[in-house]
Amino acid sequence: MRNGILGSVLTAAVAASALVAPLPARAAEPPERYIVTWRHDGAFSSRAAGTGRFLRGFRDFPGFVTEMTAAQARRVAADPRVRHVERDRLVSLAGRQANPTWGLDRIDQRPVKASKSYLPSADGDTVHAYVIDTGIRVGHRQFGGRAEHGYDFVDRDANASDCNGHGTHVAGTIGGATFGVAKKVRLVGVRVLDCYGEGYVSDIIEGIDWVTENAVRPAVANMSLGGGNSPALDWAVADSIAAGITYVVAAGNENVDANRSSPADLPEAVTVAATDSRDRRAVFSNFGRGVDLFAPGVGIRSATAAGDSATAVYSGTSMAAPHVAGAAALILDAYPGHTPAQVQARLIADATKGRVTARAGSPDRLLFVPAPPQAPAIATTRTATAQVGRPYSARLALASSRRGGWKLASGSLPPGLSLSASGVISGTPTTPGSRTVTVRFTDYVPQSVIRQVVIPVTASIPVIDADLPGLLTEEDYEQQLTVADGRDGTWSLESGALPDGLTLEESGLMWGTGVTAGEFTFTVRFTDPWNQTATRTYTITVHQF
């Protein structure tokens, strides 16, 4: 295993042009890796390699990684255009050890007594969970094809396979079929720690940067890792949260205040401490006011990377955090528009109070995953009336809004209309008459409900819009009677008499030759296929030629 590079943190602010001339290194002062963070209004350029040996920059995070001496680092830190300079130290996993499994059973009930069941409020199928860790064994049977590679910042390739097992275990607790809190969430491995469970802060920042740039929302990220304080790491996580991604982080396993570790010290992240099966703070778990809530973290069984069916039992705040990440995925599944702050607030509001002992000043909040809500109820019993030949749209309604889908359970919609999954009945009806159908709504839990709905369709009253001009005797005459919407139908003479020599056909064509001069008044009737009728009275003057 590699040893951590621990050291002092230098703060300041810089710009690339000031970094071109490095100070000479002394023989007793070998170069070390540093993270240089620029102010957000500063420009970044690879010319910053002049600080020493430039290693790489970040995608979105304003900074870069370089090798330089402590003297060079002090010079860079003094530049007013740089925000911060710190040694790029190694961090490690937030710990694990063996014991029996019980976590899922605990988080869906208030009392400590096991119910031997787990019934979550959703399944997370619309959410992506990013596991910033040692990678994921994506072919593990627990994931059922829902796990994928994001990127590997250790080997610098797109294959984030897990050679340690920790990341796969974390992913299994977030979304495994048996061990997962959110059993249909999409899992994405972002590898920032090596086979020994160690990695540089700069690698982790790159992983966070990648998630910020590539995350499919709604999204949650889990970080079951940490070490000492790193302002650069905290800023990277804060920027990613500001971009709309919820972060759940392990409090750490040193039995000290969680505010001594990054990113556990970040208020915007959901910081998770560990409990045992008796709701006691785990003896190893970090603590303090910076902890948002506790979750099971002792003796947690989940998937591991040893094989596609392999499992293992680990302990640590690394195991507590993914319980909460899974719960965050359930919240985002039910409320996809929630911001990270709203997800954090809901987790805290839902937590079980008055249960955790030996908290050492931590808030008394234990993760709770609410049971599914009551079955949905359909409020619509009758839609607005549709009219034949006219575009129509009506939305089915629930008694209370929730995410889900609609479909026709039985019966036939009026011809020309269809029902969408969003509950909208639309189209252009072609036949009048009321239809009674049974519709089904299935929510995200999933829970289903059916109800009969009446959809009335009427044929609108036609309007005769043709005007008829006069004519001369001995003049050929031809005019077409019409209705405003152009519908089909038949025409007839209702009353009166047409001018001598003219004929009205069923098609509405009036034709002939004027014979007798005079004024003729008559009424025509139009009848459509649905027996809707209209009449209009005309007066035509025939002038002597």
Taking the C-alpha atoms of residue 272 and residue 287, their distance in angstroms, rounded to an integer, is 9
Residue of 84, 128, 140, 166 with catalytic role:
166
Active-site residue flag, 318:
yes
Q: Are strands 518-527 and 365-366 parallel, antiparallel or unpaired?
A: unpaired
How many Å separate Cα 393 from the centre of its chain? 27
Report the candidate in 345, 335, 105, 86 with the shortest Cα–Cα distance to residue 233.
86
Contacts of 49 (CB under 8 A, 6+ apart): 66
Q: Which residues contact 457 (CB under 8 A, 6 or more apart)?
A: 385, 386, 387, 388, 414, 429, 431, 432, 433, 434, 435
Beta strands in 388-484 (DSSP E): 392-395, 404-410, 417-419, 424-427, 433-443, 448-458, 471-472, 476-480
How many whole angstroms separate alpha carbon 91 and alpha carbon 46?
Answer: 26
166 tagged catalytic:
yes
List strands edge to edge, sheet with 424-427.
Answer: 392-395, 424-427, 417-419
CA nearest to 174, candidates 163, 162, 183: 183
Report the C-alpha gap between 405 and 396 in whole angstroms. Answer: 11
Q: Show Cβ contacts of residue 111 under 8 Å, excluding neighbours closer than 6 positions.
A: none
Query: Do residues 293 and 348 make contact, with C-beta atoms less than 8 angstroms apart?
Result: yes
Among 88, 108, 123, 133, the one annotated catalytic? 133
Count of CB atoms situated within 10 Å of the CB of 452: 14
User: b/e per residue, 5-27, with b = 16+ CB within 10 A?
Assistant: eeeebbebbbbbebbeebbeeee
What does the block give as tokens for 287? 């603590």
Q: Evaluate whether 335 touches 342 at the Cβ level (below 8 Å).
A: yes
Distance CA 373, CA 443 (A): 10
Would residue 364 show up in a list of annotated catalytic residues for this protein? no
| CA–CA separation, 394 and 397 (whole Å) | 10
CA distance linking residue 219 with residue 224, whole number of Å: 17
Q: Is the dihedral of CA 103, 109, 111, 113 positive or negative?
A: negative
Query: Which residue type sits at 421?
Result: A
Q: Which of 318, 323, 333, 338 is catalytic?
A: 318
State the pairing for strand pair 270-275/246-250. parallel
**Residues that are catalytic:** 133, 166, 318
